[in-house]
Amino acid sequence: DQRATVQAVEADTLAAKAGFEAGDVIRSMNGQPLLSIADVQCVLHQTPASGGQISARVVRGGDIKELTLDLGEGWRQADDISWRVSSWGLRRMTTGGMLLEEANAEQRQTAGVAAGEMALHVKHLGQYGAHAAAKKAGVQKDDILIAFDGRTDLVREADVFRQGMWEHKPGHSVPITVSRNGKQIRLQLPMQE
């Protein structure tokens, strides 16, 4: 039965701290039996943004283990939602169609950005309709986004989504800075519906 099997656990994550291991089969969370990933999402959805604990019963090597997942204040903001299909709409609304990924060491060096600071590589740029807003604003594929709305601490695409959605309404224009071939270029990016 592979319905809720942990594939991998990254070091220093909440899951690792709770004791989850690759291969664990999650049977229940907060007493709710898990039939699909939707059940995991339901349990998480019921946990307040202010934090809380989730009990988990897992099967590991034939033995049942009881684990506790501690979700602290702001746990929802720590999630990276960029992998979700729904992020396509967020890209249109907040990045004007840019698909962003963390810049590698060489890209950071060319942009003059230290490790830990904002440096998001424009991997792809929408070409048509509302997904071409960044292109129309002057952004080019392979630019490095180094500031968004005056902030240089947004280190993931999901952080840019949140800043755009929480701080701006459609029709607002957000200042951005990109590095292109080592030169900083300031542009205005429209927020859209």
In this predicted model, what pLDDT tens digit does every residue of 60-82 receive, in sequence order? 999 999 999 999 887 766 665 55
Instruction: Look at residue 74 and tell me if it is in a domain.
Output: yes
Q: Do residues 37 and 102 both lie within one domain? A: no
- Taking the C-alpha atoms of residue 16 and residue 6, their distance in angstroms, rounded to an integer, is 11
Q: How many other β-carbons are positioned within 10 Å of the β-carbon of residue 179?
A: 21
Q: What would the pLDDT profile of 114-170 be if each residue is shown by its tens digit?
A: 988 999 999 999 999 989 999 999 999 999 999 999 999 999 988 998 899 889 999
**Does 180 score more than 60 pLDDT?**
yes
Q: Are 87 and 59 in contact (CB under 8 A)?
A: no
Instruction: Look at residue 23 and tell me if it is in a domain.
Output: yes
Q: Do residues 186 and 98 both lie within one domain? A: yes
**Does 10 score more than 80 pLDDT?**
yes
Domain count, the chain: 2
Give the pTM. Answer: 0.63
Q: Do residues 52 and 96 both lie within one domain? A: no
Which residue, 78, 95, 119, sits at the end of a domain? Answer: 78
The domain in which residue 35 lies consists of 14-78
- Taking the C-alpha atoms of residue 153 and residue 119, their distance in angstroms, rounded to an integer, is 9
Tell me the β-bridge partners of 148.
151, 176
Mean pLDDT lowest for which of 12-16, 53-57, 66-70, 85-89? Answer: 85-89
Q: Do residues 142 and 182 both lie within one domain? A: yes
Instruction: Look at residue 72 and tell me if it is in a domain.
Output: yes
**Does 49 score more than 90 pLDDT?**
no
